[in-house]
Amino acid sequence: MRILIIGGVAAGSSAAAKLSRLKPDWDLVIYEETEDISYSSCNMPYFIGDLVDDPEQIAPRDPAYFKDHYNTEVYLHHRVEKINPGDKTIQVHNLKEDRTFEDHYDKLLIATGARASIPPIEGVDQANVFSLRKFEDMVSIHNRMTCCMPEGSSVVVIGAGFIGLEMVENFVRLGYPVKLLVSDQVSKLSKELSPYLEAELIRYGVEIIKDARAVKIQGKKVHLKDGRVIDGDFVLLATGIKPNIELAEDIGLKIGSFGAIETNKQMETSIPDIYAAGDVVQTQSLIDGSPIYLPLGSTANKMGRVVADNMAGNKVAFPGIVGTNIFKLFDLEVGSTGLSEAQAKEKGYKTLVYYHIHRSHYASHGGEPILVKAVVDRDKEELLGTEVIGFTGVKNRLDIYASFISFHGNIHDLEYLDTAYAPPFSTVRDVALYTGMIGANLLDKKAPSQEGKIDENFLTYIQNRPSSKLMTPINFS
Ligand SMILES: Cc1cc2nc3c(=O)[nH]c(=O)nc-3n(C[C@H](O)[C@H](O)[C@H](O)COP(=O)(O)OP(=O)(O)OC[C@H]3O[C@@H](n4cnc5c(N)ncnc54)[C@H](O)[C@@H]3O)c2cc1C
């Protein structure tokens, strides 16, 4: 049995690794158009920020490793240009030798991921303008920082999604003054939460330029639509991504409402023996079964393993996602899971929305406040989503909420969830249990309504907090 995999990062390499264990005697081949495979994109901002000194820590596996450990042939600099489902072949372009050849598959995985989406700004092809998606982008940015950014140089980041924000932190870590161009708000959280992230950016000296629509980059000047001109020696475009669906479109694979490939739960596309996984596919929401596109490495990795199982004949279903994500912004931990208030309303839910702030754990053990925004379905009394901001302990609360939402937990049950407690980790009633208690009280009208109110002290807390984690090096050992 010959398995061909197009793309060798999270989805493609995890499929190959698992398949090599399930079917050690099958022929496994990965075609990858760049020079790198199986790397940790998520760590790229921290390499640029000099927290990781060796790029090999981010891309520890090469084709020889895949051959030895996963019985997989990896061909770098090979771009797949066409799929012929009729005779089960693909057309491959060896980019180094400029030679094209055909290969045959019994089963094929499209794991072509996504690319940076570059807006129509004049001058984006200038040598001082970059985006960050691939390993080679990371190397180019790092080289530019080393060669051409002497002390006093400045950076402009366009886009305030999680990649833009992680990069802002790392440019500040390198000592550059950073201007962040924001069209509307900072991050994709609910708009009223943006000021908390802005406060953290300001605390670290980042200049936030609002209502900024870049239209032209000329030399070291970024021109905005309203006539403002922003100076910057280096410009990073962090303006979103686009799934690489061209091969799929070419053969008429079903494309979903988010513009990514649609598969069934076995990750099979609309053509037999062709699977797809990772950032190139959309999936379904565990909340209501509707399509959802939240391209993340955590999901791509799981999908790759599901493909391997199904190719090998084990009928395994990828269940879908609730949409859990987290990122770090200087000392803040920021994340969300499930539906935002806006998404829930758009879907027609009758929502209960409330905020609360409670300590991650006891102050005497270093506990700090965590802000939670919760969205509950008033009819079924189920938790639909939370957005969480804090300085410590955000991930474990998000994971509680994600599990609870995945299994359609009733908000009354969250109050009594049997979570772990000791003073260094939590208060006796955990933050997540407060989410349950307050939600239940509001639904049952046992308490005065706190809907729509965020305690202003949280903003003051952020503004006055001493800085701490910025320079912590990452230890991979
Ligand atoms: C800076 C950054 C930080 C991130 N941080 C996080 C994080 O903290 N947490 C998280 O969960 N996710 C994070 N992500 C997202 C995560 O990296 C992606 O979700 C993940 O890499 C998707 O894996 P993939 O295999 O589907 O696609 P990709 O990583 O896009 O890989 C697809 C591969 O296919 C290759 N390819 C495409 N077309 C062809 C072709 N025709 N022929 C041959 N090869 C082809 C591409 O060159 C590419 O190497 C981050 C991403 C970035 C850029």
275 DSSP β-pair partners: 109, 268
What separation in Å is there between the alpha carbon of 113 and the centre of ligand 1? 5
pLDDT tens digit at each of 477 positions of the chain: 999 999 999 999 999 999 999 999 999 999 999 999 999 999 999 999 998 888 888 888 999 999 999 999 999 999 999 999 999 999 999 999 999 999 999 999 999 999 999 999 999 999 999 999 999 999 999 999 999 999 889 999 999 999 999 999 999 999 999 999 999 999 999 999 999 999 999 999 999 999 999 999 999 999 999 999 999 999 999 999 999 999 999 999 999 999 999 999 999 999 999 999 999 999 999 999 999 999 999 999 999 999 999 999 999 999 999 999 999 999 999 999 999 999 999 999 999 999 999 999 998 898 999 999 999 999 999 999 999 999 999 999 999 999 999 999 999 999 999 999 999 999 999 999 999 999 999 999 877 666 667 888 999 999 999 876 565 544 444
Secondary structure class of 166 (helix, strand, coil): helix
User: Which ligand 1 atom sits nearest the alpha carbon of residue 246?
Assistant: 41
User: Minimal CA–CA distance to 458: which of 369, 373, 355, 354?
Assistant: 369
Query: Using a 6 Å cutoff on CB, does residue 31 contact ligand 1?
Result: yes
What separation in Å is there between the alpha carbon of 179 and the centre of ligand 1? 27
pTM for this prediction: 0.95
Indicate which residue's Cα is closest to atom 41 of ligand 1: 80
Secondary structure class of 106 (helix, strand, coil): coil
Query: Using a 6 Å cutoff on CB, does residue 323 contact ligand 1?
Result: no
Catalytic site positions = 42
DSSP secondary structure code for residue 61 in this structure:
-
What separation in Å is there between the alpha carbon of 111 and the centre of ligand 1? 9
Query: Using a 6 Å cutoff on CB, does residue 12 contact ligand 1?
Result: yes
Query: Using a 6 Å cutoff on CB, does residue 44 contact ligand 1?
Result: yes
Is the distance from CB of 62 to CB of 37 less than 8 angstroms? yes
Is the distance from CB of 340 to CB of 349 less than 8 angstroms? no
